[in-house]
Amino acid sequence: MSSSDDVAPTPDPYALLGFIRNPNGSITRVPDIFPTSPPSSHPADNLTPVLTKDIPVNPDHKTWARVYLPSSAPQSPTTKLPLIVYFHGGGFVVCSAASSMFQKFCCDIAHRIPAVMVSVEYRKAPEHRLPAAYDDCLEALHWIKATDEEWLIKYADLSRCFLMGTSAGGNIAYNAGLRAVVDQLTPLKIRGLILQAPFFSGVEWTPSEMRSVNDAVLNLRMNELMWELALPVGVDRDHSYSNPVRAPKYEVLDKVKREGWKVLVTIYRGDPLVDRVVEFVKMLKDKGVDVVEMIGNGGFHGSDLMDDYEATIFYGVLKNFILAF
């Protein structure tokens, strides 16, 4: 038997995402492949010192937000907590604001910073291709600025707002942030972006992406498939949605700079996206954007989401970044 016979075949990316590919090219979603957790707004029901509740944003689009409130939130109007608006990962095609791993992650952040968090449930591709997710997340920001939701009015400092996202959510935080910086969101004042292994791409694969053929978390074929499903029909991965280095929006970045936003970018050297993210950080710095970067050794895509030790390190970096404002 040759050595090539011993190489395990690359898993079907459709199956890994919980999709059944139909003969006509459409997909059927396998239900319940990604575990979810319900909200809990009653302290006695909560296993963490954080309360949660879900609130509709746009019923027509079936979008909503899960709000996280530390149970120890100060009662004084002069000591409100910073607000983090969070966009979950999943390659634009899977997972939700109710996914258990993102529920735990947001609870930990809300407790450790402490901060009020709003995790946005946005529409998924391929049923709703980009820019649907960007539209939904910008709409959520407008909902936040105008809502009479008690937890946000009473406990959140709208003048200290941060847009944060993991993987595809980091891409959303960036692209929705570029829209928000030229929009009218008063009294909501965005101070910065927090991009955790942001999911970017390009027509030409980088060396770190080329090494990811058999990556356990984000292999090359899955990477490619998620972009095939998410991008508008007829465009390639050098579109501005996926490749901000090849298709930069310099005028908007100048506005980001003038507004004094800071951008925290985190990635691990073992992440297939690391080369892409390093290029992105260089582009931001070349435009004069104030960037704080954390490149960890080893790791994998989602290390600081799925590994408790790495998550603890990330929480410390995040807390220092937010409390500097």
Active-site residue set: 167, 271, 301
Closest CA to 198 of 249, 241, 236, 259: 241
Q: Which residues contact 308 (CB under 8 A, 6 or more apart)?
A: none
Query: What is the bridge-based pairing of β-strands 63-70 and 116-121?
Result: antiparallel
Closest CA to 90 of 201, 166, 39, 14: 166
Q: Which residues contact 1 (CB under 8 A, 6 or more apart)?
A: none
Evaluated on CA atoms 42, 43, 44, 45, the torsion sign reads: positive
Q: Which amino acid is at 18?
A: G
Q: Which amino acid is at 306?
A: M
Q: Which residues contact 11 (CB under 8 A, 6 or more apart)?
A: 219
259 exposure class (CB count in 10 Å sphere: 0-12, 13-18, 19+): middle
Asked whether 227 and 195 are in contact (CB, 8 A), the reply is no
Closest CA to 262 of 171, 170, 163: 163
